[in-house]
Chain A
Amino acid sequence: MNVLTNKKVIISLLIVLGIVFPFIIPNLYYLHIMTLAFIWTIAVYGLNLLAGYTGYLSLAHGGFFAIGAYVIGILTVKLEMGFWLSFLLAPLVTMFIGLIIGLFALRTKEHFFAIYTLCVGYIIYLVIDKWEGLTGGVRGLIGIPLPEAIGPITFQSPTAQYYLAFFIFLLVVAVIYRIVHSLTGRTFIAIRNSEDLALSLGISTKRNKLLAFVLSTFFAGLAGAMYAGFIRFIGPEIAYTTITFDLLTYMIVGGIGTFAGPIVGTFLIVIISQNLQFLQDYRMLIFGPLLTLLIIFSPRGIVGFIQMQLYQRKRKKQESLAYKNREEETNAGG
């Protein structure tokens, strides 16, 4: 019981599982799915930072994901730049575009922010779809190169690409963990609770909201760049709103505003959808009601639900312990 709830044990086990996965299941298809799941999780972490921790639900996230993918696509295919330099530039360019959009978007709040960013996301899609000269339009961009070898490490095999994605994934999780569990993260959470209160506590909500927004676009852009480098073909459909809503579903199922939520939600849904492939689009008939039930009964997703259970069990234990102590005292007294 204690071993199972010990965070360190769980985390080490998961990392080991991630490392040995290609050996346990030497199936290229599953390896492909897992690699994609790592990439999606990174994008969901970006969304969670903004929507979950800061309380601003952005529906342009798929758009920023696509910007990251297209920046690396355009830089490598059209300008024939090296992979790694483009890979470095992609999230930075996304972040810069995010900064400019954020300056306007953050003048709105709540529903209006969601609607505004939904429009921004759609405009990004339209630009990518229609600007043929730059993005290749509906034909997309083909032939994004493989990452160049770093010393003796090459990235030709799917296993190597799996490990690359896994490595970046771990790095992102660590960075997010530090952001969320620091004064910066506490500042975001304070803004989510009440902007008036945060302001009265001397927090510059404008600056911190913009920071959260820009950070979220950075992770979206990073995930997009990884996606483009992995799939090596990108089309405008990756900017479409369905991507945003997929990411949103992963986040809500896992637990909005929880740290482990993005991993749990993304892997769970990716794995379940793979097993329900035979149902084709009718899968949604299963997902829809499940999602509705989850939102009604556990608004903070699976992780939020587990956290609450663990907390209540701990509290009950403390109470019964206190009760027992009191009883012993009265017995001793009498």
Chain B
Amino acid sequence: MLEVKGLTKRFGGNVAVKSVDYSVQQGKINAIIGPNGAGKSTFFNLITGVHEPTEGTIIYKNEEITRQPANVIAKLGVARTFQSTHLFEMSTVKDNVIVGHRLRTKSNLFDSIFRTRRLKEEEQQCIAKAEESLDFVGLSHVSDQLVTNISQEEKKRVAFALALATDPEIVFLDEPTAGVNPDETDEMAKLIQKMADKGLTICLIEHKMPMIMQLAHHIMVLNYGEKIAEGTPAEIQKNEEVIKAYLGGTVSA
């Protein structure tokens, strides 16, 4: 579904991502793990168009999207969340999510000023989509609260709802459970599972190993920008390279 070949990113003399070949498995939960500074977030940023790759190609549904800007990639059905949430704190949860469906609407300034039928219809469409997404992530009860008054975990869910409102086919989640307590982490894992059950393809970066091992179907391990292993959770757990990268030094038998 989404495939990268020889993806490389250099920042000056630093190689953040080094010639990575990878393909995201459709309808599955794909995970990317690796020690801090392994280039996971950069890898995400390359795919979603935040950074331009130095070398390599990205193919999505048989179409090359390598140097497309982020907003074009989003329109093709690739959504993402960020490590930190950037919501408008002084506005309600629902108001924050409504704009998520904007990319599927065509209303322009003229429609806004004259309140044309198209604008009214598309606004209803965006509101309905926001309600649907908030319902899906289990936040209907706080949709009229100001974002500043909801919990950190709820804010993460709002970010999910925003990504879902774009009508994606594949969702990239950048550390979805960072800064969330263990109980809430389980709840978030359930939500991610629910998204996959709905038919979405998921690709996530995570540090919480127990969660990843339970949740993911397929795992890729990055270390110093290079892919060092790939496979099912069981395979990854046994892989010596991976254990070495995480623990350092050699593995004693």
Question: Chain A interface (Cβ within 8 Å of chain B)?
Answer: 175, 178-179, 182-187, 189-190, 192-194, 196-205, 211, 215, 300, 304, 311, 315
Contacts and interface: CB of A to CB of B under 8 A. Distances in A.
Given A182-B119, A202-B166, A300-B90, A187 B113 contact: no
B103 A183 contact: no
A211 to B, nearest CB: 6
A184 B122 CA distance: 12
Contact of B103 (A175, A178, A202, A304): A202
B71 A199 contact: yes
A204 B74 CA distance: 10
A298 to B, nearest CB: 12
Given A199-B50, A203-B102, A182 B74 contact: no
Contact of A200 (B79, B88, B115): B79
B104 to A, nearest CB: 8
Contacts of B95: 186
Nearest to B122: A183
Interface string B112-151: 1111000100110010000000000000000000100100
A71 B90 CA distance: 40
A311 B148 CA distance: 12
15 contacts: A178-B113, A179-B112, A183-B119, A184-B107, A184-B108, A186-B102, A187-B102, A189-B91, A194-B86, A200-B70, A200-B71, A200-B80, A201-B74, A203-B103, A300-B90
Given A183-B122, A183-B126, A193 B103 contact: no
A186 B98 contact: yes
Greatest chain A CB density within 10 A among B48, B112, B123 is at B112
B245 interface: no
B109 interface: yes
Given A200-B70, A311-B146, A183 B112 contact: yes
Contact of A204 (B71, B82, B126, B166): B71
Interface SS of A by simple majority: helix
A288 to B, nearest CB: 27
Interface SS of B by simple majority: helix
Contact of B102 (A190, A196, A311): A190
A196 B86 contact: yes
Q: Which 5 A-B pairs have the closest CB atoms?
A: A202-B103, A194-B86, A202-B74, A182-B112, A199-B70
B69 interface: yes
Given A183-B107, A203-B102, A203-B103, 14 more contacts: A175-B113, A178-B113, A183-B126, A184-B109, A187-B99, A190-B99, A192-B88, A193-B86, A193-B87, A197-B162, A199-B50, A200-B48, A200-B80, A202-B102
Nearest to B105: A183
B75 interface: yes
B100 A201 contact: yes
A42 to B, nearest CB: 16
A184 B112 CA distance: 7
B166 A201 contact: yes
A189 B107 CA distance: 16
A211 B109 contact: yes
B69 A199 contact: yes
B80 A179 contact: no
B84 to A, nearest CB: 9
Contact of B88 (A182, A183, A184, A193): A193
B82 A201 contact: no
A178 B149 CA distance: 28
Contacts of A178: 112-115
Contact of B113 (A179, A186, A300): A179
A179 B112 CA distance: 6
A200 B74 contact: yes
Given A175-B113, A178-B112, A201 B103 contact: yes
A179 to B, nearest CB: 5
Contact of A201 (B90, B102, B109): B102
Contacts of B82: 196-197, 200
A241 to B, nearest CB: 30
A1 to B, nearest CB: 21
Contacts of B87: 193
A215 B112 CA distance: 13
Contact of B71 (A179, A183, A202): A202
A184 B107 CA distance: 8
A193 B86 CA distance: 7
A200 B165 CA distance: 12
A311 B162 CA distance: 24
Contacts of B86: 193-194, 196-197
A204 B69 CA distance: 9
A186 B99 contact: yes
B66 to A, nearest CB: 17
Nearest to B90: A300
